């Protein structure tokens, strides 16, 4: 149990570092707010111009947000072994954590607050949970 919790804490530390402090992802404090509150704005760009998918920045943002939260959805049921974690809880906590992160980015002017990130991060948490359930079925 100690290893699982330690793994979860290490994951959360790495996630928060990349979200708030990593220069690699332009996390410096901005002079002006940068935000996107238009749901699926970048997705509409992709539909209008499929060549956008070849843009490394777009792909990194899209897939990176999903991949970043997959461990969250997988680890959450592992660390709460006394309580059976269900889909709705993983959905809620993935959404909540992502919304908090995006809100902090908006108010602290760090990175870019993007409503699409909340959706993609929540999707990543759900995919991580689905992988956990598959793992659980195979293992037991």
Task: Name the residue range of residue 21's domain.
Answer: 2-139
> CA of 2: how far to CAs of 7, 77, 79, 108, 133, in Å?
9, 14, 9, 34, 21
For 3-23, how does the pLDDT look when each residue is reduced to its tens digit (9 = 90+)? 999 999 999 999 999 998 887
Prediction pTM value: 0.86
> 10 Å Cβ neighbour count for 20?
15
| Digit-coded pLDDT (tens) for 67-89 | 999 999 999 998 887 778 899 99
CA–CA distances in Å: residue 82 to residues 1, 58, 79, 85 = 11, 40, 9, 9
Q: Total domain count for the chain? A: 1
Q: At a CB cut-off of 8 Å and minimum separation 6, what does 31 contact?
A: 109
């Amino acid at each position: 149990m100690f290893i699982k919790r330690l793994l979860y804490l290490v994951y959360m530390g790495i996630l928060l570092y990349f979200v708030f402090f990593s220069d690699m992802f332009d996390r410096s404090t901005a002079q002006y707010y940068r935000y996107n509150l238009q749901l699926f704005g970048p997705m509409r760009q992709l539909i209008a111009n499929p060549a956008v998918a070849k843009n490394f920045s777009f792909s990194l943002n899209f897939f990176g947000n999903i991949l970043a939260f997959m461990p969250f959805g997988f680890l959450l049921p592992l660390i709460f072994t006394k309580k059976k974690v269900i889909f709705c809880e993983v959905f809620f906590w993935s959404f909540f954590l992502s919304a908090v992160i995006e809100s902090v980015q908006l108010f602290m002017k760090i990175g870019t607050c993007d409503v699409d990130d909340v959706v993609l991060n929540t999707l990543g948490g759900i995919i991580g949970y689905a992988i956990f359930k598959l793992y659980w079925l195979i293992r037991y």
